[in-house]
Amino acid sequence: MDFDYDLFVIGGGSGGVRAARVAAGEAGAKVGLAEGDRYGGTCVIRGCVPKKLMVFASEYSGIAADAQAYGWQASITDFSWDTFKGKLNEELDRLEGVYRRLLAGSGVETFDQRARIADAHTVELADGTKKTAKTILIATGGTPVRPDIPGADLGIVSDDIFHLPELPKKMLIVGGGYIACEFACIMNGLGVDVTLYYRGAQILRGFDDEARGLIADEMIADGIKLHTGTNVLEMKEEGGKVWTKATNGSTDTFDAVMFATGRKPATTDMGLEEVGVELGRSGQVIVDEYSQTAVPSIYAIGDATDRVNLTPVAIREGMAFVETVFKGNKTAVDHELIPSAVFTQPEMGTIGLSEEQAAQQEPVEVYVTSFRPMQSSFAGRQTRVLMKLVVSQATRKVLGCHIVAPGAGEMIQLAGIAVKMGATKEDFDRVCAVHPTMSEELVTMRKPTRTA
């Protein structure tokens, strides 16, 4: 059978674009790609990139006070949301243009419209046009979840926060995951009065308990009103503001309410189940280790599969897919020991098992230190950082590394190389410290703080 394309990709995010252009540019495949929104996906347009730029913007608020402590005559005036938002939009437009040029330069034919599956080898575009392909790749990403409560439509989700017409004076953020905590720190840094409700006992569930406890303490010290064991019951419009009632019985009004209560795969109304693709309980596409679905000609990568929802992972899955399908080199993606960062203030960098996870698996030694770093201590700030290694008693391997500190994301990238290689505690000890730095503590902790 003759097909219009060797590969048709549905989704123009980081994973889909990488797979499309490598298949076309390196493997010589004829490739089509459909994207119903902006090219770049969650990361470039609605996630990592604009969020990190907002993190940078928010961190300037404390620079003047620190500079004064170091002898500089410095001051920072009010933050201009309009100025920042204009520059942000220019940058996102530029990045989207880069993605489009990369696809065009690789010979990928693009369609600026939504697509769904018609059969195992056919996609139907929004205008009714049908395209056939030997292989179809689902790379549609994920989308924020809005809770089912009265008045929920009055709130925004993470996709909306970059488009706020003006910066709210008082804001409620609902949720306790990394998105909720990052935006709580961002908005607080930009001068917003921030309250955060989380229904659980402690924010950042799934991360190391000691690390997330320090972040919670620092958020509170920075002025964020953090309420755990608390959720929103209902919301209504009141005088141009949002009135809320919480599970603890309290009521309050806010200029804006943001829900960061989870994300789900963007697989609704795509015709997947109708052609035999299996979906999980949250709508995730079920795939094998090679990203292949129950339909042999259909594959899926990235957040649509809800495996490890990180941009670099989606890109690696896309590369492995091309190796497997177009280069004859069956390649499974390694989802073990992936470093990641949470861009709160201070940041958290992490790789491997938390102390709690490791202790359930085997006897461990825990090496941990928490201290006031030189730069902020000199400036009179009480901010603390944390360096932590979780070590197997039997093999001496470092099972987990957790850093809470300014620049933790940068540090964990390098520490992650050692942990991924299987470094032992003694391997860390053999490395000479770089002094004076915060990270030198990772190689100078000689005696375990405790065993578990």
What long-range pairs does 329-334 form, CB within 8 A, spacing at least 24?
330/290, 331/290, 332/289, 332/290, 333/289, 333/291
| Active-site position among 227, 335, 402, 435 | 435
- 115-119 vs 122-125, strand pairing mode: antiparallel
Q: What is the dihedral of CA 117, 123, 124, 125, to 10 degrees?
A: 110
**Are 183 and 261 contacting, i.e. CB atoms less than 8 angstroms apart?**
no
- 435 classed as catalytic: yes
What long-range pairs does 123-130 form, CB within 8 A, spacing at least 24?
123/8, 123/10, 123/34, 124/271, 125/34, 126/36
Q: Which residue(s) pair with 172 in the sheet?
A: 195, 257
Query: What's the rounded Cα separation, in Å, for the pair 226 and 195?
Result: 6
- 193-198 vs 170-174, strand pairing mode: parallel
What long-range pairs does 374-383 form, CB within 8 A, spacing at least 24?
374/436, 375/66, 376/66, 376/406, 378/69, 378/70, 379/65, 379/66, 379/69, 379/70, 380/69, 381/66, 382/221, 383/218, 383/221, 383/346
Nearest to 226 by CA among 249, 252, 247, 198: 198
Nearest to 340 by CA among 280, 262, 419, 278: 419
Residues designated catalytic: 435
